[in-house]
Amino acid sequence: MKVLAAMSGGVDSAVAAARAVEAGHEVVGVHLALSRMPGTLRTGSRGCCTVEDSMDAQRAANKIGIPFYVWDFSERFKQEVVDDFISEYQAGRTPNPCMRCNERIKFAALLEKALALGFDALCTGHYASIETDSKGNLELHRSLAMAKDQSYVLGVLNKQQLQHSLFPLGKAANKEDIRAEAKARELSVAQKPDSYDICFIPEGDTRDWLSDKIERTEGAIVDLEGNHLATHDGAIGFTVGQRKGLNIGKPSADGKPRYVLSIRPKDNVVVVGPDEALLISELSGSKYSWCGEAPSNTTDWFDAEVQVRAHGLSHPCRVKVAENQMVIALSEPIRGVSPGQTAVVYLGSRVLGQATIDKTVSAVMEQV
Amino acid sequence: MPVYLDHAATSPIRASVLELYISTLSEIGNPASVHSFGQHSRQILEQAREEIAKAINCDRNEVIFTSGGTESDNLAIKGIYWDVNSKDPSKNVIISAAAEHHAVLDAINWLVDSQNAELYLIPSDDQGVLDIAALERYLEQNASRVALISVMWANNEIGVIHPISEITKIAKVYSIPVHSDAIAALGHIPVDFAESGLAAMTITGHKLGGPVGSGALILRRDQKLTPVNHGGGQERNLRSGTPDASSAAALALTITEAVSEQEDLAQKHQIMTQRLIAGVKQIASDVIVSAENAQRLPNNVHFRFPGCLGDSLLFLLDSDGVSISTGSACTAGVSGPSHVVLSLGASNDEAMGTLRITLGHSTKDQDIDAFLEAFPKAHQGAKKAGLTRR
């Protein structure tokens, strides 16, 4: 196959590209320029946005012996990921930009371009594996390296995208093996630190980064009964489940800590309450998709598991589609889920599909 | 055999130059040393200076060796500005143009940002042709405030030739020094320093088949300049640092050869670029040939393909063994929209769909054949891949 290897400049994508070459594919490396004004050097744990990362990717491609190019996706990245991130926060939701990047840039814009330019598949360094079921249908599964499993952020992939994806690290047992392999292959990125944070927020402080993009006005922090507790300097940037930084002077009546329960951008109000009020029993979203073959019957409840954040646990649940919504009923309530987050549904290790959460139902009271 | 059509980025080293370069590299001696080794090295250096002076018609003392174009541009612009401005602080305007090389624009912008300089850009039209009348009008009002003018002899991306003598004639009325980056022009059209009326001129070797790292600033005898590098006082105290005799010798041979072949090569290149334009137009009827109606370099052709991305074209052609450029090479290989193409009034999308072909001393007819053979498929693929947005 002709394979385009997306190379961020990190160790995973470099080893993935090398494995694709060894598997006999004709591989070309590409680094996505996601900013027109990239920093010179990487700082802290943010990767893939600096000239240093681009050079690291190029150096790895040279070492592996494949052609290498840099493609500029900065404008599209800004429109589809960065602007979306800002407007989601503006709407009081908590977006996952890595998910959007996979959905709209890597496995959309880049994949489309790759196919148009004559490639058969896109190779990335994600920790997830593509398997074939008994009928020959492709399925996305969790990585064997559970600690690094990235199947969650790939939950947005559809059948066509799976057909053209290659994840050579899917069978990796752990990250250390990949680093050792990179070292054995003499790749200079072998010991490069992992990137964790949002790549386009250079200092890692989302609220601070948002502050000059979304106008902040003072508003009320209220309890569930609507009592005014304190004043915040802008509702944007609070996260459901957040406890610190609320600056409510007086303690609650029962002395228990208070958490952000919801953010209401319309009237600029942040609602806080006790821990148990964070418990959610049901999630739903109209923007959903199936990863690979859709289940045969989705109108009746079926048992599954759901994961609501990249490195979170999965929770037993029942799932169905009703009124064009994916509805997920949790067997046991889970804590702190915010609209905007993605719920990825699993059957065992298989990724079944995902929905962007529009609505949550509280386990203990009327919806907050 | 891969085909190389990107001579404006850098040109393959000439066999004769390589031989001379290697042999002089093994010579011992610092040209500043008094002993016989030093004198020998000095002789190589001064011989090179004379040869360059002869090839471009300047005084031998007007040749200041540097590491190349960027250094020469910085030395000329900062050096002349500092000298003029220190004597008369009211002179703080630098005149240039929007499509200049970054080595010129960024040096000027640094002076603007940190040294109180002001920049006036000579307007240009959609063919990249400068509005000389606008320059004249500007000078009528503001000449007393102008420190220097810097306009490239020909544009490295789109190939437009600028009327340097006309500009120096106007500037002379007001005694304003004019610098020109002549890198793209030298070896492709006649370049005569004495005739040009320039105060300073940038040249480099590696775009003509010399080694990277060999360049010079040609500085008129009477033009004062504050040095950027301070040190041992070499090169008339204008560019301190041990002179590189091997580079100088290689540069001299490169320029001598390039200038002596220039007329023949220009004729040959003219025919080749016409073939390229005709061949491309046959396949891509919507192609825009940048600055097609302007006076152009014979070795440059610059295309804009609506609905295509330059990086797709570059990738597909490169895969087929044909190396071209989307514009001028830049940091980390990111091909953002070129400021030169934007200066023609092109949209952002249009500026992303560019392809530059530049010919040089080693270009053969077969290279043009290979490009024209690979182009239709590449164009079709790039068109299919389209722009990056939905």
Annotation says A317 is catalytic: no
Helix (H) or strand (E) holding A225: none
> For A1-11, what is each residue's pLDDT tens digit?
999 999 999 99
The confidence score (pLDDT) of residue A193 equals 82
Which pLDDT band, with edges at 50, 70 and 90, does B332 fall under? very low
In B, which residues are within 8 Å of A116 by CB distance? 312, 381, 384-386
pTM of the complete model:
0.88
pLDDT, residue A319, reads 97
Residue found by looking up tokens 């989302």 in the block: A206
Contact B334 A69 (CB under 8 A): no
* Structure confidence at residue B390 (pLDDT): 35
Report CB contact under 8 Å: B388, A73: yes
- B233 with B360, same domain: the answer is no
Question: Exposed (0-12), middle (13-18) or buried (19+): which is A63, by Cβ within 10 Å?
Answer: middle
Which pLDDT belongs to residue A37?
66
Please state whether beta strands A269-273 and A219-222 pair in parallel, antiparallel, or not at all (unpaired): parallel
Domain count along chain B: 2
| B234 and B301 belong to one structural domain | no
Picking from A36, A67, A117, the nearest residue to B385 by CB comes out as: A117
B230 and B278 in a single domain? The answer is no
- Each residue of B353-382: pLDDT tens digit? 999 999 999 999 999 999 999 999 999 999
pLDDT of A25 higher than 90 = yes
CATH code for position B374: 3.90.1150.10
Over chain A, what is the mean pLDDT? 89
- Considering only the beta carbons, identify the residue of B332, B382, B385 that sits closest to A51: B332
Are B201 and B239 members of one domain?
yes
Would an 8 Å CB–CB cutoff place A206 in contact with chain B? no
Note the pLDDT tens digit of each residue in A257-302. Answer: 899 998 888 888 999 998 888 999 999 999 999 999 999 999 999 9
Phi, psi of A359 (to 5 degrees): -140, 140
What ipTM, to 2 d.p.? 0.84
Residue B159 and residue B341 in contact, taking contact as beta carbons nearer than 8 Å:
no
Mean pLDDT in residue range B198-211: 98
Q: With an 8 Å Cβ cutoff, are B331 and A33 in contact?
A: no
- Identify the helix (H) or strand (E) that includes residue B287: none
Structural domain containing residue B286: 3-9+262-385
Query: Is A106 strand, coil or helix?
Result: helix
pLDDT score for B95: 98
> Please, where are the H alpha helices in chain A?
11-22, 51-64, 74-77, 83-90, 97-100, 111-116, 159-163, 175-184, 206-211
Q: Is the pLDDT at A368 greater than 50, yes or no?
A: no
Q: What is the pLDDT of residue A202?
A: 74
User: Which of A98-112 are b and which e, b meaning 16 or more Cβ less than 10 Å from the residue's Cβ?
Assistant: bbbbbbbbbbbbbbb
Convert the pLDDT of each residue in B314-324 to its tens digit.
999 999 999 99
Instruction: State yes or no: pLDDT of A250 exceeds 80.
Output: no
Looking at the fold, whether B266 and B253 belong to one and the same domain comes out as no
| Greatest distance between any 2 Cα atoms in chain B | 70
Cross-strand partners of A128? A142
Could you give all domains of chain A from N- to C-terminal order, each with its CATH number? Answer: 2-184 (3.40.50.620), 215-273 (2.30.30.280), 278-362 (2.40.30.10)
Contacts of A96 (CB under 8 A, 6+ apart): A153, A310, A340, A341, A342
pLDDT in tens, A157-166: 999 999 999 9
| Confidence at A342, pLDDT banded by 50, 70, 90 | very high
Mean of pLDDT values over A38-53: 64
**A366 confidence band (pLDDT: 50, 70, 90):** low
Q: pLDDT tens-digit profile of B103-116?
A: 999 999 999 999 99
pLDDT digits (tens, 9 = 90+) for A76-126: 899 999 999 999 888 888 888 988 999 999 999 999 999 999 999 999 999
> Is B55 found in the same domain as B165?
yes
pLDDT for A252 beyond 80 = no
Kindly tell me if the per-residue pLDDT of A312 is higher than 90.
no
Among B203, B233, B257, give the residue marking a domain's end.
B257
Longest dimension (CA), chain A: 67
Closest CA to A58 of A196, A198, A188: A188
Looking at residue B329, its pLDDT comes to 55
Average pLDDT score over residue span B182-191: 98
Cβ of A72 within 8 Å of Cβ of B388? The answer is yes
Rounded Cα–Cα distance for residues A341 and A310 (Å) = 10
- Looking at residue A253, its pLDDT comes to 76
Are B107 and B206 contained in the same domain? yes
What's the pLDDT at B330?
59
Which residues of chain B lie closer than 8 angstroms to A67, CB-CB? 318-319
| DSSP secondary structure code for residue B294 in this structure | S
Q: Looking at the structure, tell me whether residues B109 and B230 fall in a common domain.
A: yes
Which residues make Cβ contacts (< 8 Å) with residue A244, sequence separation at least 6?
none
**Which of B335, B348, B381 minimises the CB distance to A116?**
B381
Q: Which residue of B has its CA nearest to A116?
A: B385
The sign of the torsion formed by the CA atoms of B45, B48, B52, B57 equals positive
B222-245 burial, b at 16+ Cβ within 10 Å, e below that, comes to ebbbbbbeeeeebbeebbeeebbb
- Interchain proximity B333–A70, CB inside 8 Å: yes
Across the interface, of B318, B336, B385, the residue whose CB is closest to A36 is B336
Task: Return the pLDDT at B49.
Answer: 98
Catalytic residue among A101, A123, A291, A317: A101
CA end-to-end span of chain B, whole Å? 37
Is B327 part of a structural domain of the chain? Answer: yes
Q: For position A44, what pLDDT does the model report?
A: 55
Is A41's Cβ below 8 Å from some Cβ in B? no
* Cβ of residue A214 closer than 8 Å to a chain B Cβ: no
Q: Is the pLDDT reported for residue B147 higher than 60? A: yes
For residues B216 and B66, the answer to whether their CB atoms sit within 8 Å is yes
CB atoms within 10 A of CB B192: 12
Q: How far is CA A336 from the centre of its chain?
A: 17
A122 contacts chain B (CB < 8 A): no
pLDDT for A367: 44
Residue B390 domain-assigned (yes or no) = no
Q: What CATH number is attached to the domain comprising B19?
A: 3.40.640.10
Would you say the C-alpha torsion B134, B342, B325, B291 has a positive or negative sign? negative
Decide: residue A251, CB within 10 A, 0-12 exposed, 13-18 middle, 19+ buried: exposed
- Test A36 with B385 for CB contact under 8 angstroms: no
Same domain for B271 and B351, yes or no, is: yes
Residue A33 Cα, gap to closest chain B Cα (Å): 7
Average pLDDT rounded to a whole number, residues B17-27: 96
One-letter amino acid of B235 = E
| Cα–Cα dist B302/B325, whole Å | 10
Q: Is B64 left (phi over 0), alpha (psi -120 to 50) or beta?
A: beta
- Residue B350's pLDDT band, with cuts at 50, 70 and 90, is confident
Last residue of a domain, one of B257, B276, B307: B257
CB A10 within 8 A of CB A194: yes
Pair B129, B172 in one domain: yes
Structure tokens at B75: 């030395």
Q: Do B371 and B303 fall into the same domain? A: yes
**Neighboring chain B residues of A31 at a CB cutoff of 8 Å:** 333
From CA B272, how far away is CA B278, in angstroms rounded?
Answer: 10
* Torsion of the alpha carbons at B338, B155, B382 and A105, rounded to the nearest 10: -20
Q: What's the mean per-residue pLDDT of chain B?
A: 95
Task: Tell me if chain B has a CB within 8 Å of the CB of A119.
Answer: no
Q: Is the Cβ–Cβ distance between B98 and B242 less than 8 Å?
A: no
| pLDDT score for B358 | 97
Q: What is the pLDDT of residue B389?
A: 45
* Same domain membership, residue B162 and residue B284: no
What pLDDT sits at residue A50? Answer: 79
Asked if residue A182 lies in contact with residue A127, where contact means CB atoms within 8 angstroms, the answer is no
Q: In this predicted structure, what is the pLDDT of residue B334?
A: 64
| Helices B102-115 and B69-87: angle between axes, nearest 10 degrees | 30
Q: B306, B279, B275: which is closest to B290 by C-alpha? A: B306
Look at chain A and count its residues.
Answer: 368
pLDDT of A365 over the 80 cut: no
Asked whether the beta carbons of A27 and A123 are under 8 A apart, the reply is yes
pLDDT: is B307 or B64 the higher one? Answer: B64
In this prediction, residues A151-156 reach a mean pLDDT of 95
Domain boundary pick from B227, B257, B287: B257
Nearest to A176, CA basis, from A147, A150, A141: A147
Average pLDDT over residues B126-135: 98
Contacts B348 to A, Cβ<8 Å: 75
For the stretch A158-210, pLDDT in tens is 999 999 999 999 888 788 899 999 999 999 888 888 776 788 887 778 888 88
The answer to whether the CB atoms of B311 and A69 lie below 8 A apart is yes
Enumerate chain B positions whose Cβ falls within 8 A of a Cβ in A. Answer: 311-312, 314-316, 318-319, 331-336, 348, 352, 381-382, 384-386, 388-389
Instruction: Quickly state the pLDDT bin for B335 (edges 50, 70, 90).
Output: low
Q: How far is B79 from chain A (nearest CA, A)?
A: 28
Question: In this model, does residue B85 exceed pLDDT 80?
Answer: yes
**CA–CA separation, B262 and A43 (whole Å):** 50
The pLDDT score that the predictor gives to residue B333 is 56
